[in-house]
Structure 1
């Protein structure tokens, strides 16, 4: 067996189908990273990518099968080169095409489909021809054996392409570099298929395609970034990360969405007004001086955790699943680790399951407007958080939703879910509008419900360093929850609850000291 494997030499059709498997699946993984910053990484984007690429691949199989009787290795060479040319187009013009297609008048859940079709439909369609061609040119006896052999090789290539792109290439290289690498692999395979006597035309074409890939990687269409000056950007294993300066305000973007901001001239200022609400647990606690241990699930630019350290004598643990986000916070947002600030690079729920620590405050700040980790929303998670809280402990969850009406389903479901575990649950809106916004859900173990008057008295008496009078005026009555589910591990339809928000305005209020800019007139975006 070992000798047989050692002596095995793949035929040219086998090599072609193996490389097509690598490339097609690699492009599929890459598509998510390219499209998500513009359209979000919710289920409609991912499902749309899978649908379009599978449709394109099936169409390629069908057309290739019809032409397979006339298939030649030389035609496979031209298919490889044509695919590499289109990969160069994707590398060069993806942002331009994404921006253009995002303006099309489509329902939000379908908004990403035109971009996916234009960017990834043609190369996937071309690669679909390779498998039926390879089956026709196979040396195997019988249609069944030839087809099984070819599709096994293609699937092995797809496994390699998926694994290498996910675990090796994306953490190590930029999107453009990965695209160029796939293009070069296609060109190299095309050249290998012409050996030992490469014809002149395919050889010249191969050189031209390599030059095109190099040009595509070296520059993209010039575009003015309306957000400001991009001072840092990278592709992490989890998401796209950017740090952008707009005047004195520095903002961290994750997959194109704002997640943290700091005033470079006045680091104590809360740029995003909702971060002031993170201090509400210090009013809910019976004695803020007894608050010693605080946990943030979700770090971002670490503006919230650093603000807690500046205001209170507490130890702060931060669970941030993406270590490169923490590194960016250190480099660009003034984060300093020490005796009282510790970061943990792991999932928030897993951290709580393994934690021996008891916390006085837990701040859950790990939701995105278009993607919510459902396992951090359920009754089981709420019970786990309650178990890790002290007897006087408080949980605050930064929920992105509308406070009422259309788009409020997720907030109301979270409220109903928290009520299954915590005796008291409160809701605070952060904007006077009814648009999608950062709604703060606060849950306590206290059997006695705190009145508005009691909270106002506490904010007058307690020297927290943050005046929460305006925040207390934004306290809401308990929402109606009869029409929303309690979220549980075995049934948490979070994507369905987020669906009504897609296409609605998403408002992030800024503090009064902030000067509106062209990029952030009130910081208004589209949810989803």
Structure 2
């Protein structure tokens, strides 16, 4: 069962105090941030919806490449593997990062291990009435939750309209009853919404890193304000860089509790307020919901992926008025890991 993480330094980890940013500087930064994301959102609205274009790779291009599109935000590539799976990648030149792996013959298949671990929220959530995810990608996590719990009202938020088009055209993920698709920056969407949720997932990456404004204490406080009593947030984190320590500190500054789940190269963080969840109660709820919904990935087994990662308990939370230059090292660290 998941527990609070074990620090690299000795001694018991204590939750960091929630920072109080200077009102003037925070307001100025939020205004600037809002201006930037609103421009992006307006451009996204102008680009979506738009006439569908068939995305076909040129003859003689890379093996397996079936589509390439240059959007306002990404160079998007779709490959078809010899086993029939589709791979969605973002990047430019040799710097490409796999965003999703899709089995076109099975809409409930989650080939990427960490996406299976993200379903652990189905055991933690106080109810399964409404949920949301920031970051669509190929739509695997969002679609799994939507199709596994038909009465769950699910909202997927994606900044790039072309990513949503690719998810529709190639992977069959599109708006329908109980599945809403919002083309908007995730933080702007939160600030515009009065809705509260049982579960909010965050899986928004640009290449190897999370966009800065989606990894600050203020952002996670916004997430927390949109959760129902007992509601949870789930964040997918790539742990190979020093930013993992900062991510733990940042999310921990906005929530009372963090539980960690293994993702084979990624770590899934479950964040929530209130008392620490009782492992036996979690297992009981998981068994009941597994029996009711027949999840493809057994919730009781997903719970067994909980563990205690090592992290620096002295890492500082990231805030809107603190720009972490460590992001610049993320690509190099990722490439070293792949070489």
Same fold per superposition (TM over 0.5): yes
Measured in 1, the distance between the counterparts of 2:332 and 2:315 equals 13
Larger Rg: 1
Give the deviation of 1:446 after TM superposition: 2.8
Q: Does 1:410 align with 2:248?
A: no
- For residues 354 and 268 of structure 1, do their structure 2 counterparts lie closer, same or farther at Cα, with a shift above 3 Å needed? same
In the superposition, the TM-score normalised over structure 1's length comes to 0.48
Identify which of 436, 456, 460 aligns with 2:283.
456
Alignment of 1:161-176 (within 5 A): none
Q: Deviations over 1:465-500 (max 9, x none)?
A: 131344333322264433422111111415167377
Identify which of 466, 472, 477 aligns with 2:303.
472
Counterpart in 2 of 1:244?
79
Identify which of 217, 229, 235 aligns with 1:379.
217
> What number of residue pairs does the alignment pair up?
273
RMSD: 2.4
Q: Deviations over 1:68-96 (max 9, x none)?
A: xxxxxxxxxxxxxxxxxxxxxxxxxxxxx
Identify which of 129, 135, 138 aligns with 1:301.
138
Q: Does 1:339 align with 2:177?
A: yes
Measured in 1, the distance between the counterparts of 2:275 and 2:309 equals 16
In the superposition, the TM-score normalised over structure 2's length comes to 0.74
Q: Does 1:395 align with 2:260?
A: no
Query: 8 Å contact 2:244–2:311 — kept in the other structure?
Result: no
Alignment of 1:108-257 (within 5 A): 224-225=62-63, 229-246=64-81, 247-255=83-91, 256-257=96-97
Counterpart in 1 of 2:334?
502
Give the deviation of 1:450 after TM superposition: 3.2
Measured in 2, the distance between the counterparts of 1:468 and 1:368 equals 29
Could you tell me which runs of 5 or more consecutive residues in structure 2 were left unpaired when the two chains were aligned: 1-42, 48-57
Q: Deviations over 1:193-236 (max 9, x none)?
A: xxxxxxxxxxxxxxxxxxxxxxxxxx99x6653xxx22221111
Measured in 2, the distance between the counterparts of 1:233 and 1:480 equals 38
Alignment of 1:478-493 (within 5 A): 479-493=310-324
- For residues 321 and 266 of structure 1, do their structure 2 counterparts lie closer, same or farther at Cα, with a shift above 3 Å needed? same
Query: 8 Å contact 1:411–1:439 — kept in the other structure?
Result: no
- For residues 375 and 245 of structure 1, do their structure 2 counterparts lie closer, same or farther at Cα, with a shift above 3 Å needed? same
Could you tell me which runs of 5 or more consecutive residues in structure 1 were left unpaired when the two chains were aligned: 1-166, 172-218, 432-436, 506-524
Measured in 2, the distance between the counterparts of 1:390 and 1:497 equals 37
- For residues 473 and 496 of structure 1, do their structure 2 counterparts lie closer, same or farther at Cα, with a shift above 3 Å needed? farther
Give the deviation of 1:461 after TM superposition: 3.1
Query: 8 Å contact 2:107–2:143 — kept in the other structure?
Result: no
Measured in 2, the distance between the counterparts of 1:318 and 1:301 equals 11
Q: Does 1:362 align with 2:194?
A: no
Measured in 2, the distance between the counterparts of 1:340 and 1:411 equals 34
Structure with the larger RCO, 1 or 2 (CA within 8 Å, 6+ apart): 2
Query: 8 Å contact 2:200–2:227 — kept in the other structure?
Result: yes
- Name the SS for the 2:181 alignment partner: strand
Give the deviation of 1:291 after TM superposition: 2.2
- Greater helix share, structure number: 1
- Greater strand share, structure number: 2
Runs of 4+ that moved beyond 4 A: none
